[in-house]
Amino acid sequence: MGININPFTWWNGASWGTMLGLRGKKRVGEDSLGNVYYEGGKDTAGNPRRWVIYKGSNDASRVPPEWFSWLHHHIEGTPDESGPPQRSWEKPAVPNMTGTALAYRPPGALEAGGHRVRATGDYEAWNPDA
């Protein structure tokens, strides 16, 4: 089914038109999530154009921070050659989990059981007669 849907959709990977548009562009790297990055040509300001081809669904939150910096011209070279070394306390980037079973559910959310800690004594209900 993937080969039949690919020419017409953009939300679940690169379409054939995108892949044809990348002809002659330079593949500069791949991140830990499998996304592939390209560079080539110039935009109207004279900066090199940069692309990401997502592995899987097209979701901008799936671009790691170091590659986001490269895509938006915050750094010139690829993260492998010009990025700072990763610190021991840094956590790996994770995509946005909203709408999935792994989404954050605060205490009291219906999906988390619907019970929350009772209010302390600092809350006083509004009374129209007061």
What is the predicted pLDDT for the residue at 1?
45
Going from the C-alpha of 14 to that of each of 9, 32, 73, the distances in angstroms are 8, 18, 22
Residue 32: phi, psi to the nearest 5?
-70, -20
Q: Give Cβ neighbours of residue 78 (< 8 Å, ≥ 6 apart).
A: 28, 29, 37, 70
pLDDT in the model for residue 37: 93
- Quote the pLDDT of residue 5: 54
Cα–Cα–Cα angle for 99, 65, 47, rounded to 5 degrees:
120
- Could you tell me the two tokens for 51? 């692309």
Encoded amino acid at 2, one letter: G
Intervals of the chain under pLDDT 70: 1-19, 21, 130
Give the pLDDT of residue 70.
92
Q: CA 68, CA 74: separation in Å to the nearest integer?
A: 8
